[in-house]
Structure 1
């Protein structure tokens, strides 16, 4: 799930709506049910689930999540590679749309339209799920105003969801090595001085990576242990609004790939927080999915996931990063200068 808010968009043109989906999700959906919420004429939250034979429970949950943002309405896009030429399938599409409409209606949300598309690409074809007779060709997703805005914001658009997931894919061999090193050196507890040293080491490691260096096993192991300390992790959130945000995020991605569970979970939460703060909902979403698979009860991961699903804007998340600066002051740690208010943190 990810969110966007824009008025530079024509919600009454299905070809335009469908073409914009990759820019909002961050990847091109396949075999998916995508729900685009509409709030006062603007694009709101965009949610996606896989198509499957029995989607009853998923649709109930989808409607519940969509309702968290209290939208006025929603538009459904069923992405099925067999959709364009499978007329007998339209009964299934019609039933799916009707079920979704009922669930949304129970939350006071109108389903404004449901469209079936074979592929979200230039030349892809769409038609109404209810057999209304309307249909057409998909506009160029790369030319969508939202895609252009994403590129200008420096966001990468992925061709497939698994390409996005590969950003944080674990390295089992390296994780096994680090698991042994972490287990051999776990301290009884971190003092304030230890926490300060860990924060400084994280910043130094981020700078080293940015300069083309590699992350030594002993450094990764120490950082993995340190991230389990809430003071350290929450202070490091502050870097998301600092001048070194990109360097820090690259370090969290590296750690998320090589650390063993449960240490990997904390790195994933940092990746998610930094991505969310700079407006990259897709990367935040897959990182939180991975974190919650590791630890379904993780408090911060759950809080960020709920915020993302409810459509909380990135600028509100960036306010949370300011807590990191207050914690740093209490610990006596100096963080990099904050970026000016109103400027993106990434």
Structure 2
């Protein structure tokens, strides 16, 4: 789910609204039910679920998420290449729309419209899900003002959701198992470490980020040390500050690399650092898939749960960035000099 408002998206033009969805979600939705929230007459948080999910559980959950995001109204878009041209599917779409209207109303939310489209691409066709008879063409997603804004922010748009998931997927399980042996042999860290140890680990993380940005891969022994150092709360909490520093891109690339290389449970902290960095710069899709992966590994992870709740409730990135102040305070206590804070608007990494 993305939680970034997009005032450029025209809510009263279905073809343009549907064309904006890839830029909001980060990928082109297929076989999906997408719920667009409306707050103060603008496009707010956007939620997506697979059409294969049971309607009786999917619809109430989407309505609850919309309520958590402060929605005043919602617009539904069903994307189904096969079903959009199937006359027998029309009754099913009407049932989706009817159930959504009922569940949304339970939260005081109005369902403004429900559309069905075959593909989210230029020339795709949309029609009314409730049988009103309205129909039209989907506009070009690449020409959407929302897509232009995403590109200016440096966000990458993916052709399929699987491509976005690959950003955090473990690439080589066998090698991750080797790293697990290295980490276990080197750890765990002692409970009460001197501040100099934490300071050294933070500086090591900064060096690894610079190294990776320079084209040199992170070596296994470095990855092992990073995995262990992130289990020290002082190190981990200080490194959250990198998400708002002028080297945020380097740091985010390092967290993504560790997310793909480290074994469970050590990859969890890298995933949450990646999620925080993505959220801080307004990339809700990457933050969401990173948090999903982290919570699958460790369902009770405190920071992951907090960020996930914030994302689902539509908390703005600038509010999340304030959490990085703690990292700067810890760095000062440890005697670590972090990169200065950046002006936001560009993509990290």
Q: Could you give the per-residue CA deviations for residues 209-243 of structure 1, whole angstroms, max 9, x where no partner exists? A: 11110111111001001111111111001111111
Q: 2:333 aligns with which of 321, 330, 335?
A: 330
Note if contact 1:277-1:345 (Cα within 8 Å) is conserved in structure 2.
no
Say if 2:234 is the partner of 1:235.
no
Which residue matches 1:287?
290
Which residue matches 2:153?
153
1:9 shift after superposition: 2.8
Whole-Å Cα distance in 2 between the matches of residues 7 and 210 of structure 1?
Answer: 34
1:53 shift after superposition: 6.0
Which residue matches 1:178?
179
Which residue matches 1:87?
87
Q: What is the DSSP-based 3-state SS (H/G/I as helix, E as strand, rest coil) of the residue aligned with 1:167?
A: coil
Which residue matches 2:310?
307
- Higher RCO (Cα < 8 Å, 6 or more apart): 2
Q: What is the DSSP-based 3-state SS (H/G/I as helix, E as strand, rest coil) of the residue aligned with 1:3?
A: coil
Between 1:262-271 and 1:50-59, the stretch displaced more is 50-59
Query: Taking structure 1 as reference, are residues 333 and 64 closer, same or farther at Cα in structure 2, changes over 3 Å only?
Result: same
Which residue matches 2:265?
262
Note if contact 1:121-1:138 (Cα within 8 Å) is conserved in structure 2.
yes
Whole-Å Cα distance in 1 between the matches of residues 111 and 27 of structure 2?
Answer: 24
Whole-Å Cα distance in 2 between the matches of residues 7 and 259 of structure 1?
Answer: 39
Which residue matches 2:276?
273
Whole-Å Cα distance in 2 between the matches of residues 89 and 343 of structure 1?
Answer: 43
Note if contact 2:153-2:347 (Cα within 8 Å) is conserved in structure 1.
no
Which residue matches 2:256?
253
Which residue matches 2:12?
12
| Number of residues of Structure 1 aligned to a counterpart in Structure 2 | 345
Note if contact 2:3-2:314 (Cα within 8 Å) is conserved in structure 1.
yes
* Structure 2 gap ranges (5+): none
Note if contact 1:252-1:270 (Cα within 8 Å) is conserved in structure 2.
yes
1:191 shift after superposition: 2.8
Which residue matches 2:221?
218
Q: 1:193 aligns with which of 174, 193, 196?
A: 196
1:184 shift after superposition: 0.3
Say if 2:206 is the partner of 1:203.
yes
Which residue matches 2:67?
67
Which residue matches 2:136?
136
Q: What is the DSSP-based 3-state SS (H/G/I as helix, E as strand, rest coil) of the residue aligned with 2:30?
A: coil
Note if contact 1:339-1:345 (Cα within 8 Å) is conserved in structure 2.
no
Whole-Å Cα distance in 2 between the matches of residues 9 and 251 of structure 1?
Answer: 33
TM-score relative to the length of structure 2: 0.96
Q: Could you give the per-residue CA deviations for residues 82-115 of structure 1, whole angstroms, max 9, x where no partner exists? A: 2331111010000011111111110000000000
Q: What is the DSSP-based 3-state SS (H/G/I as helix, E as strand, rest coil) of the residue aligned with 1:5?
A: coil
Whole-Å Cα distance in 2 between the matches of residues 322 and 174 of structure 1?
Answer: 36
Whole-Å Cα distance in 2 between the matches of residues 46 and 61 of structure 1?
Answer: 13
Note if contact 1:242-1:345 (Cα within 8 Å) is conserved in structure 2.
no
1:8 shift after superposition: 2.3
Q: What is the DSSP-based 3-state SS (H/G/I as helix, E as strand, rest coil) of the residue aligned with 1:15?
A: helix
Whole-Å Cα distance in 2 between the matches of residues 259 and 82 of structure 1?
Answer: 39
Q: What is the DSSP-based 3-state SS (H/G/I as helix, E as strand, rest coil) of the residue aligned with 2:279?
A: helix
Whole-Å Cα distance in 1 between the matches of residues 69 and 198 of structure 2?
Answer: 38
Which residue matches 1:47?
47
Please report the RMSD computed on the Cα atoms of aligned residues, expressed in angstroms.
1.2
